[in-house]
Amino acid sequence: MVFANKKHFPTAIIGVLVAFSIVALVLSLVKTDDVTLPPVVKYGLVFDAGSSHTSLFVYEWDSDKENDTGVVSQTLSCDVQGQGISSYAKDPPKAGDSLRACLETALKVIPAGKQRDVPVYLGATAGMRLLREQNSSSAAQILAEAAKTIQEYPVAFKGARILTGEEEGAYGWITINYLLDSFTKYSPKAHTWVHPEAASILGALDLGGASTQISFVPEGSVRNWSETSTFTLYGYNYNIYTQSYLCYGQNEILKRLAKELIVEAAFSSRVEHPCYPKDFKETISLSSFSTSPCTNQSDPGLAFGDRDVTLEGSGNASACLAALRKLFNFSACEQIQDCTFDGVTQPPLTGQFVAFSAFYYNFKFLNLTKGQPLATVRETIKDFCTRSWEDLSSSYPDENPQRLSKYCTNANYILTLLSAYKFNESSWNNIFFQMKAGSADIGWTLGYMLNLTNMIPGEAPARRKAQLPSLWAAAIAFIILTLTLGFAALLLLLWGK
């Protein structure tokens, strides 16, 4: 570089260096949040392969908030056409094919550049647990076909497996408490995370087609409850009691009830059904009882094969309740303390509960999800059960007839089951019937994904960054400024010589 006037050289050098120093100082005063790049949106997919149907859920969250609470949102839910994958025991490839339409729908909402990094899980529940009992090779083949189909798409497939009943219950419990901020909350005032009171931890009540689950945190010591699991979430330990009852889902109860009524009627061709509406008729084949381990117990009368039986509704609510109670083995609890039914022990109920899935859908239809007292619930169900089929059909013309005819049975079964769980007039108001929390459906799928992606840390979240100037940037600016002034002084010294 050539200067027109050599004596101006030191002044020019010093001016340039001071300018750099000013720029560095300004950068040091910029807030860290002002220069942070936008977070990356991430996605996850979970198939809920239930006993009666399969659903696909698409979740999304910002990458910089993976370990926060309540930040995962549900982007999409897609109902797979047809029955549950366990119904494809005789043609397993169709189980995989049934998933294609929802997979293609899900990929339309995920940017193409991110699809290969999207984790995809398939969890099968009680329907597949029952099929595995009947035919383990068919169950394995169905899962293999489902996995094969998913792997044809540009996603990060993470596996297809059958959940235990206890896992299903625990993941539902995690979903509820995660979505409702029961595990931890960020306090803007304190600039830190706080742990809610123990009373705000919610219990979970799930009712599916083939099984039902109850999960909650018992009060005091957990004693030696064999059904208790321990989770460490956000730095706190939770001892969860979770119990699953196979063959107590609403679809299996309907089959079990029909079978018991037929057996009691000595296999007559026409059998009175107290839970069906008066004048409603349904014809079933005795061979249908052989399709499930819940009704496939040996019984001489069922050996008549494909003989049909007609069930005729009588609309008798009290007789319906009595018939449903016979499906529970309460006598097995006579000598056992803290026992519900079938010889299963349960800690005393504590806290509030969220009842979802079939609990919600049946009570929603009957307009019983608004916190009505138990006496009102019982009276509403009783009145509904006394209505004739003609009355119901004309009053609910848009309702599926198969579902409409079963609401009396399902509602009375819910009353019987919740009573077996030890809910009574005083604790009934602790049950909240709901299916959504924010934008997300309540169920086990979100808890399952959160667990497998380690998005709920065992340790407590670190203190959030305060909105202050970056100490690192200030330190770097100070060093640059010091070096600049030192270099300028050296130049002046050399120039003076």
Catalytic residues: 168
Pairing of strands 236-246, 270-273: unpaired
Q: Report the C-alpha gap between 460 and 234 in whole angstroms.
A: 4
CA terminus-to-terminus distance, the chain? 21
Could you tell me which of 257, 226, 259 has the C-alpha nearest to residue 241?
226
| Enclosing H/E stretch for 241 | strand 236-246
Axis-axis angle for helices 407-420, 317-325 (nearest 10) = 50
Q: Is 77 exposed, middle or buried (0-12, 13-18, 19+ CB in 10 A)?
A: middle
Alpha helix segments (H runs only) across 29-56: 32-35
Burial 274-303 (b: 16+ CB within 10 A, else e): bbbbbebeeebebeebeebbbbbeeeeebe
Alpha-carbon dihedral angle through residues 263, 264, 270, 272, given to the nearest 10 degrees: -130
Burial class (CB in 10 A: 0-12, 13-18, 19+), 228: middle
CA distance 425 to 136: 43
Q: Name the residue among 307, 288, 308, 306 with its Cα closest to residue 296.
A: 288
Contacts of 350 (CB under 8 A, 6+ apart): 203, 216, 217, 218, 219
**Regarding beta strands 73-79 and 54-62, do their DSSP bridges make them parallel or antiparallel, or are they unpaired?**
antiparallel
The DSSP symbol for 436 reads E
How many angstroms separate the CA atoms of 95 and 421, rounded?
A: 35
Pairing of strands 192-194, 203-207: unpaired
